[in-house]
Amino acid sequence: MKKAGKLFSYMGILVICFLFGFCWQDIQKWKAPSSRALGTLFGVKSASAATPEEEFQHAYTQILTDYVKPVDKSDLKYAGMEGLMASLGDPHTMFMRPKLAEAFSDETRANFGGVGARLTSDALGAKIAVVFDDGPAYSAGIRGGNIVTAVDGKSVAGRDIDDIVSMIKGKEGTLVHLTVIQAGKQKPVAITVKRARITAPTVESKYFADSQVGYLSIASFSEPTAAQFDHELAKLEAHPMKGLVIDLRENPGGLLETAVDMLSRFFENKLVVKMKFRDGHEESAKTYPGVLHEFAYPIAALMNEDSASAAEIYAGCLHDYGRAKLVGTHSYGKASVQNVFPLVDRSSAKITIAKYFLPVTPFFGRKVDEYGAYTSGGLEPDLKVELSTGTEVTFGDPKSDNQLQKAIQLVNPQSPAIAAN
């Protein structure tokens, strides 16, 4: 009996030693031994399956602790969030890291710290496309067509335009040092600009005196857009008006609230969109009273495949209620609603929460083939006009912009013929 007792004691000690060795990796990290690993060792299945969240957390922890080289926690977390969003196959549902989330917020508000200029890509760095008249860049002598080659002494040749914009933006009141090539000067000049709070113009106007037609270009539907629309429209209506062209080409959309506000200039207490959610309930957005404007002339709205979201709602409602004709090519077909959910580390998640339907136009959601190429969807124009190819086109210039030419002739058939360049 004594021998048997000693044998069982030795076996117990061996088992304890084995378990201690098996769990040593967890003990070293001051973690409780994995019940999952112990269950696997003894062939015992967990009483309840792990939740997806637990599985995700387990994989995340395993990578952090056991991957062959150190991994940044934030990068791993963000990659996981991006993967979650991408797995839905919805191009409009996305995770935005803090930097991108901040840029998106600035774009929505059209309000940020900067120098007051729009940039486009250039082989030497960034070309100044537009300078805001009341901005610090204009006061410092920067003009459209100038080329920025360096920011704070760092060359920006070959850099992505978004990176250059991020370098120039900054806290209000701080200085940014730009190296600029100006027209007529052989050598670049150094210009120091004091950043200011910039409200970017999202609406621009032109008056074509020969045809007596006004032109309003709406770049996006952000917070200040409705007020800017009113301001620019008043400037146009100081002239004789026989028609108005509203340009929504390249407009990616923006805030539904802004689109509703602007449509309230055209009709009161009318349905704008009906939104259908996953649980079956519906919500509606309607125009409101008190801001109705008298448009005593015909209106045309220009659009193309890059007109999306709130731009489609705006154009679609003007068309459905007989207030405007659509000119150009089909729109994008983004018949869905997204909500932006801010997260604790200043990142955010933009998630599709509903589909929307216009008052009259049938559902026009975009459809693509297996390669992602457009097959159908979007708003169809009343007057289909493909943009001219083979010549340089400047939107808003009737001499080169054949779509604008057609829109002008539509709202005022007596307009003189315009010879394209």
Q: How many structural domains compose the chain? A: 3
Q: What is the CATH number of the domain that holds 154?
A: 2.30.42.10
Q: What letter would DSSP give residue 221?
A: B
Is residue 30 predicted with pLDDT exceeding 90? no
Beta 348-357 vs 196-199: how paired, if at all?
unpaired
How many of the other CB atoms lie within 10 Å of CB of 305?
Answer: 16
Is residue 22 predicted with pLDDT exceeding 70? no
Could you tell me the pLDDT band of residue 316, with boundaries at 50, 70 and 90? Answer: very high
Is residue 420 predicted with pLDDT exceeding 50? no
Q: What is the mean pLDDT of residues 311-333?
A: 98
Contact 87, 148 (CB under 8 A): no
Q: 223 and 189: one domain? A: no
pLDDT at position 357: 97
Q: Which residue has the higher pLDDT, 187 or 405?
A: 405
Of the candidates 327, 339, 343, 365, the residue with the CA atom closest to the CA atom of residue 256: 339
Q: 241 lies in a domain?
A: yes
Contact 164, 119 (CB under 8 A): yes
- Domain with 166 in it: 111-199
Q: How far apart are CA 349 and CA 80, in angstroms?
A: 13
Q: 330 and 232: one domain? A: yes
Q: 120 lies in a domain?
A: yes
Q: How far apart are CA 327 and CA 382, in angstroms?
A: 6
Beta 282-286 vs 271-277: how paired, if at all?
antiparallel
Could you tell me the pLDDT band of residue 421, with boundaries at 50, 70 and 90? Answer: very low
Q: 370 lies in a domain?
A: yes
Q: 129 lies in a domain?
A: yes
pLDDT at position 207: 97
Q: What is the mean pLDDT of residues 181-206?
A: 89
Q: Global pTM?
A: 0.78
pLDDT at position 311: 97
Q: 31 lies in a domain?
A: no
Q: 158 and 264: one domain? A: no
Contact 203, 152 (CB under 8 A): no
**Lookup: tokens for 262:** 């602007």
pLDDT at position 185: 80
Q: What is the CATH number of the domain that holds 337?
A: 3.90.226.10
Domain end among 138, 170, 199: 199
CA angle centred on 76, ends 74 and 78, rounded to 5°: 65
Q: What is the mean pLDDT of residues 397-407?
A: 95
Q: 105 lies in a domain?
A: no
Domain end among 199, 218, 239: 199
Q: 292 and 336: one domain? A: yes
How many of the other CB atoms lie within 10 Å of CB of 87?
Answer: 9
Q: What's the pLDDT tens digit per position in 204-249? A: 999 999 999 999 999 999 999 999 999 999 999 999 999 999 999 9
Residue type, 3: K
Q: 245 and 366: one domain? A: yes
Q: 194 and 218: one domain? A: no
Q: What's the pLDDT tens digit per position in 56-69? A: 888 889 999 999 99
The torsion angle over the Cα atoms of residues 105, 106, 110 and 112, rounded to 10 degrees, is: 150
Q: How far apart are CA 164 and CA 270, in angstroms?
A: 43
Q: 21 lies in a domain?
A: no
Pick the range with the lowest mean pLDDT from 4-18, 48-62, 256-270, 320-334: 4-18
Domain end among 174, 199, 224: 199
% of residues, the chain, pLDDT over 90? 64
pLDDT at position 300: 98
Q: 238 and 278: one domain? A: yes
Q: 154 and 297: one domain? A: no
Q: 160 and 269: one domain? A: no
Q: 138 and 261: one domain? A: no
Q: 290 and 401: one domain? A: yes
Q: 171 and 208: one domain? A: no
Q: 4 lies in a domain?
A: no
End-to-end CA distance of the chain: 110
